[in-house]
Amino acid sequence: MPHYPQPNPADVRPPVLCCSGLDPSGGAGLQADIEAVFALDAHALVALTATTIQNTHNAYRVDAVPDTLFQTAIETLAEDIAIRAIKTGLIGSAGQARWLATFAQRQALPLVTDPVLKAGGGARLADDPVAGAIVDALLPVSRLLTPNAAEARLLCGEAADADIVRCGQRLSDGPAWVLITGADEAADHEDETVFNQLFRDGQRVARYPWPRLPHRYHGSGCTLASACAALIARGAETQAAVEQAQQYTWNSLEHAFRPGTGQHVPDRRRRTPPNA
């Protein structure tokens, strides 16, 4: 392995390794990660997990990157750059999930896991082996898990109408904090308030109310998880990062734009300074 002298930490934004898929519409996936991480004063490194065919309506195809290519990309980055945090989104294979869990544990890096299982349009993006590897491999080494309510129930193996608090308690009964977002709980927009819930050590520790915004959004979960990872990389405690990232994400959604005829895309330019 070649040896590269490390730069002065004061000269660089803290590097965040973002492992996710390529979204051609630019609303979600790696582009969302890059924009959110940069907006919060960190630097995004990227490792492609899968290519997709999608637009702002739905996803139509997912092709996983070969595991060896995914691994080599990350190892090559790690030889050169001191990674400060890892964020995962769409995982292309169970092998990717297991290898990344080992890498994060070996490097003692904070891991933010966004378990992307379905597209905003409803298409299934990850198969059952990937979902199982997220629970069995990634969750035990994660600092933070950020599912929406539907993803939380899938990871718990619960029915679509199962009690979400019970799911949060189960998922957080280990080392990870769990933030379950609630925007998908009332898909018909009949509720004026969205509640995000934070769990730790098998208990709910916070419930965050947010005014429901009027549109459907593509990339909101990617934005939130990447913002959390950037803030953690900059030294924020986990709960503080969660709270600041929610405000940043809500602002991005409030100013969202519609590049096509489907969902709106967050405008991820930062409008309020983080406190970290």
| pLDDT tens, position by position, 103-154 | 999 999 999 999 998 777 777 777 789 999 999 999 999 999 999 999 999 9
Predicted local distance difference test score (pLDDT) of residue 259 = 97
Enumerate the domain spans of the chain: 13-254
Predicted local distance difference test score (pLDDT) of residue 117 = 86
Predicted local distance difference test score (pLDDT) of residue 125 = 76
Residue-wise pLDDT for 51-88, tens only, equals: 999 999 999 999 999 999 999 999 999 999 999 999 99
Q: Which two tokens stand for residue 113?
A: 């896991």
Residue in 260, 205, 245 with CA at minimum distance from that of residue 33: 245
Predicted local distance difference test score (pLDDT) of residue 128 = 85
How wide is the angle at C-alpha 114 spanned by C-alphas 227 and 248, nearest 5°? 25
Predicted local distance difference test score (pLDDT) of residue 15 = 98
261 secondary structure, DSSP code: S
Q: Which long-range contacts (CB under 8 A, 24 or more apart) does 252-259 make?
A: 252/36, 252/220, 252/223, 253/213, 253/217, 253/220, 253/223, 254/213, 256/213, 256/215, 256/217, 258/56, 258/215, 259/25, 259/26, 259/27, 259/56
The SS3 call for residue 28 is: coil
Q: What is the mean pLDDT of the chain?
A: 92
CATH topology of domain 13-254: UDP-N-acetylmuramoyl-L-alanine:D-glutamate ligase (3.40.1190)
Q: Quick one: average pLDDT of 241-253?
A: 97
Predicted local distance difference test score (pLDDT) of residue 10 = 46
The pLDDT of residue 40 is above 50? yes
Residue-wise pLDDT for 210-224, tens only, equals: 999 999 999 999 999
Residue in 257, 241, 259, 260 with CA at minimum distance from that of residue 268: 257
Q: Quick one: average pLDDT of 13-25?
A: 98
